[in-house]
Structure 1
Amino acid sequence: MTFSVAVSGASGYAGGEALRLLSSHPNVQIGAITAHSNAGSRLGELQPHLHSLSHRLLEETTAENLAGHDVVVLALPHGASAEMAAQLPESTLVIDAGADHRLEDAAAWEKFYGSSHAGTWPYGLPELPGQREKLRGAKRIAVPGCYPTSSLLALMPGFAAGFLENDDVVIVAASGSSGAGKSVKPHLLGAEVMGGMSPYGVGGGHRHTPEIEQGLSLAAGAPVQISFTPTLAPMSRGILSTATAKVKAGAGVDPAELREAWVNAYENEPFVHVLPEGQWPTTKAVLGSNHAVLQVAYDEHAGRAIVSCAIDNLTKGTAGGAVQSMNLALGLDETAGLDFQAVAP
């Protein structure tokens, strides 16, 4: 069976990555390809790596151009996707790669995004407990943020197993500059980024903070509070998240048992891999793929679990998560269009 898929925001990084994956999907025919300021341009001018689609012209991002497809992927800035989604038929599978429909708490949305909450859609991270059933047959899906994807994959098994304290969680994550989008920003110029690292969103101000807390609270069955600090790394794509949490004093957990919680959680997952002991994640190991690699250790001195997780922020962290969730919603093989390895060196 073939499904027609339209992609908005196709001139940006997330939209371009979605097209890269969808162009080789065995069950997809690519329909409308749209943009805003770049409408009328040839896709090959803006996404020269998409050879099979290079001749296509970008259309205006309107409900009229997106309607009539089985699936619409919205790779738009927050605020824009909710407005567009509201104009699309309920029978269309709409996948929002933006933030508009991720949060359940309207107050948290208003605090971090400064606008009215648009509502909550099924969350497109199949690896979370019980999430696959919510995605099967869904007509609206909210793709997770890239930092939440790596952070939730890192810590979810420990909270689901009841091993970790809920109020002493620290996450420090480094991302490539593509995570900030494609629009020109002086601090993201190559001369500014290459050869150095810098923090941002320090002090609990990053917008992904409530999203990470939401997912970990779901896994724990109780509210989880985190301290999250993102950093900008001198690379174009990739995320390496290092997350630590206090192990419950009464849990009686030894290092082997702690590690086993992660091994058991992911042993049947097609895209999440707990590395052999002694091997640590690198962003290069997942470059261009929908895979995540992680390692867990126990810091006996501090009584903390330490987990490092690497993903490609544009693939598993955005477009790959969208396609994986789309497959579930349409009743396809979950790995369709995604079962390829990373690029090296």
Structure 2
Amino acid sequence: MTRIAVVGASGYAGGEVARIVASHPHLELGVLTADRHEGRPVRQVHPHLRTLGDQSFSGIDVEELSAHDVVVLALPHGYSGELGESLSKARSDLVLVDLGADRRLSDPQAWEHSYGGRHFDPWVYGMPELVLAGGDTQRSRLEGATRIVAPGCNASAVTLALAPLIHSGQIDPADIVSTLSVAPSGAGRALRDELLAAQRLSSAAAYAVSGSHRHIPEVIQNLRLAVSSAATDAHAPADPAGWGLSLTPVLVPISRGILAVNTARVVSQETAATLHQTLERHYATEAFIDLLPLGELPSTGSVLGSNTVALGVGFDPATSRVTVVSALDNLYKGTAGAAVQSLNIALGIDEAAGLDANGVAP
């Protein structure tokens, strides 16, 4: 059994990792840290994690954490980067998985624009299904990796919908529009007025409009990997020329899930069938991508509680625009599930181990 510590385990993402690992056939939960809840029983914060018994949250101790085989960092951006440095110095062969943004962006300028503060060297990006310029996938880079960063949930919803069409040259990378209906749980567990139930129930609200969403550089970085061998250099600046992504998230009153409506201008003679066939060709062997039959569209309810991304395709010949609708559970496939899936690959075990492709309903 591979023993795993989770830092920031009292949050939604950290708790979801703990939930997945608790029933994983090859992984074993070790220390769960949460400074704010140090000494408090885990089940008081996560009452659904019944199998953890009387385990309590610990404080962060680098020596104790580095005694594990794997440490998962489920911390806000600006915190995981520094701790990752400390853990790397304590034990170079320790496997580290970061759920935050600190290790995602290769371009320091993009980081400064979107987040600010210290830019840390990127780790191996944890999106196994991402098609690369040469035709292989990001899975090949994850094999044997000891430093992994999980993708952003919104970035996953857009990237997995469009990367095959970018790779095949069927859509214009300068004309992409994505509108995402997102659950407030994607913002984490911290108390914020705009996320209170009284504010969100029976109400929808857009945010981060006019190109200000922090996941935009991440999506462009991913889509560049699908077409440019130069983008494989982790330290190459992300050239914005020729790329145009308008991304607008809308908070909706659901506890978890993302429904992304992604549209792009088609640049060749295409039909709904040929565009669907491209996605079908790229994802035919992917266990966790469910491409629906042509004419069908997914909903968040179909993937709730699963590691599955559901995709549906439409095409409007009057405007020469393709629409790819993607649905995923932001806490499962959008964060914790992607991390465990990538970790499985890195450890050389069954990629699907411990992960559920079936959702829950109603």
1:17-62 residue CA offsets vs partner (Å, 9 max, x unmatched): 0001000000011111111211111101000000011411100023
- The one of 104, 107, 125 aligned to 2:106: 104
Residue 169 (1) aligns with residue 176 (2): yes
Q: CA separation in 1, counterparts of 2:209 and 2:305?
A: 28
- Structure 1 residues 83-92 or 145-154, which shifts more? 83-92
- The one of 259, 266, 284 aligned to 2:276: 259
Preserved contact between residue 180 and residue 250 of structure 2 (Cα < 8 Å): yes
Preserved contact between residue 176 and residue 235 of structure 1 (Cα < 8 Å): yes
The unaligned stretches of length 5 or more in structure 2 are: 132-136, 232-241
Residue 131 (1) aligns with residue 138 (2): yes
* Distance apart, 1:340 and its partner CA: 4.5
Q: Which runs of 4+ in 1 moved over 4 A?
A: none
Match of 2:239 in 1: none
1:148-198 residue CA offsets vs partner (Å, 9 max, x unmatched): 011101111110111011101111101111011111111111111011100
Q: Which amino acid aligns with 1:42?
A: P
* Distance apart, 1:216 and its partner CA: 1.0
Match of 2:211 in 1: 204
**Aligned length in residues:** 342
Match of 2:247 in 1: 228
Match of 1:303 in 2: 320
* Distance apart, 1:230 and its partner CA: 0.7
Residue 156 (1) aligns with residue 155 (2): no
The unaligned stretches of length 5 or more in structure 1 are: none
User: SS state of the match for residue 37, structure 1?
Assistant: helix
Match of 1:330 in 2: 347
1:77-117 residue CA offsets vs partner (Å, 9 max, x unmatched): 11111111111122011000000000111110011101121
Preserved contact between residue 296 and residue 313 of structure 2 (Cα < 8 Å): no
Preserved contact between residue 90 and residue 139 of structure 1 (Cα < 8 Å): no
- The one of 244, 248, 263 aligned to 1:244: 263
User: SS state of the match for residue 178, structure 2?
Assistant: strand
Q: CA separation in 1, counterparts of 2:200 and 2:67?
A: 42
Q: CA separation in 2, counterparts of 1:187 and 1:247?
A: 37
User: SS state of the match for residue 263, structure 1?
Assistant: helix
Give me the TM-score of the superposition, normalised by structure 1: 0.97
Give me the TM-score of the superposition, normalised by structure 2: 0.93
Q: Which amino acid aligns with 1:184?
A: L
Q: What is the identity percentage for the equivalent residue pairs of Structure 1 and Structure 2?
A: 45
Aligned-pair Cα RMSD in Å: 1.1
* Distance apart, 1:220 and its partner CA: 2.8
Preserved contact between residue 344 and residue 352 of structure 2 (Cα < 8 Å): yes
* Distance apart, 1:143 and its partner CA: 0.2
Preserved contact between residue 45 and residue 54 of structure 1 (Cα < 8 Å): no
Preserved contact between residue 59 and residue 65 of structure 1 (Cα < 8 Å): no
Q: CA separation in 1, counterparts of 2:2 and 2:324?
A: 38
